[in-house]
Amino acid sequence: MPTSVVTGGAGFLGSHLTDALLEKGHRVICLDNLITGNMANMAHLADNASHEFIRHDVSTYIEINEPVDFVFHFASPASPIDYLELPIQTLKVGALGTHNALGLAMAKRATFLLASTSEVYGDPLEHPQTEEYWGNVNPIGPRGVYDEAKRFAEAITMAYHRAQGIDTKIVRIFNTYGPRMRPKDGRVVPAFMMQALQGQPMTLFGDGDQTRSFCYVSDLIRGIVALALSDQAGPINIGNPAEMTVKQLALKIKDLTGCSSEIIREPLPVDDPKVRRPDISKARELLDWEPLEDLDKGLSNTLQYFSQLLHQAQHQAQHQAHHQAHHQAQQ
């Protein structure tokens, strides 16, 4: 039974990766300090003897007292709201966290996989983005804390690969969506869905003509596992090359929910990329991977997840109100 360590294992992607590794017969040790991770993402694993959760900030030294075969470094705030609120933690987990996770991989002679991001391409001047493109990043802008943390993480990963002979992999993840995203993480899919489900106006930043490419989480995880088990070091783009404008996405979600929310406009955030679309030729050729999930089906699954969350929150609020009323009546 191979043992995998997943940093950020209580997060959106980390928890889905954990599920996929457990299905492949791995023992999985999850490390997370829960600043953006959520124990609810792992609740279904409570009785799984092959899964262990350790609450730990990987920006500090990582100690695992058993053999380890794979280290998947997924710990990081990963949405604009998070990294704008947690700029120093984002830089620390990208620098110190990656250093510590690589140190663990070196000590255990384990394969190391870095979850990098399409954000290393910044606001790209090349479209679609190939792995050879060096990017167009503003290092001192507000988004720079995330972009540069990931660019540094790639650099230190390659340094350990070259200088220490570690088996390393780098995946560059493009926009991904699916169940277990946080409702208020500031990303476009949860934002539109929560607004639509609650009948609130849907907020479009800028003119809505900026493009994104949305990959369903199960497709993404399949690509990451394929990379981990391959002899490729990467970086390799994993994402869905089907590009659409943010405005088209808003209309699609409005249509799927059947809501009557109006679409309102806000100014575009600083350094927000105008286009984003992966060139996945390498993933197709080297990993025999491409996305399979239909957008409408993926969005429906995700909508169902957010509807359940809203339903639970409403139920909880009613329960609390009832409890308070009962408590006051007794006084």
Predicted TM-score (pTM) of the model is: 0.93
What residues contact 23, with CB distance under 8 A and at least 6 apart? none
H helices of 198-291, in order, are 217-228, 246-257, 281-287
- Say if residue 327's pLDDT is above 80: no
* pLDDT of 266: 86
Residues designated as active site? 146
Residue 72 three-state SS: strand
* Sign of the CA dihedral running 210, 213, 216, 220: negative
Domains of the chain by residue range: 3-180+215-241+275-293
- Per residue in 88-123, pLDDT (tens digit) is 999 999 999 999 999 999 999 999 999 999 999 998
* CA 127 centroid distance within chain: 22
What CATH class does 3-180+215-241+275-293 carry?
A: alpha beta
Give residue 100's identity as a one-letter amino acid code: N
Q: Predicted confidence band at 271 (pLDDT cuts at 50, 70, 90)?
A: low
Closest CA to 157 of 120, 188, 200, 199: 120
- Per residue in 26-61, pLDDT (tens digit) is 999 999 999 999 999 999 999 999 999 999 999 999
**Tokens 């990081």 identify what position?**
76
Q: Is 203 left (phi over 0), alpha (psi -120 to 50) or beta?
A: beta
Q: What ranges make up the beta strands (E) of the chain?
A: 3-7, 27-32, 51-55, 70-73, 111-117, 168-173, 176-177, 202-205, 211-213, 215-216, 236-238, 243-245, 263-266
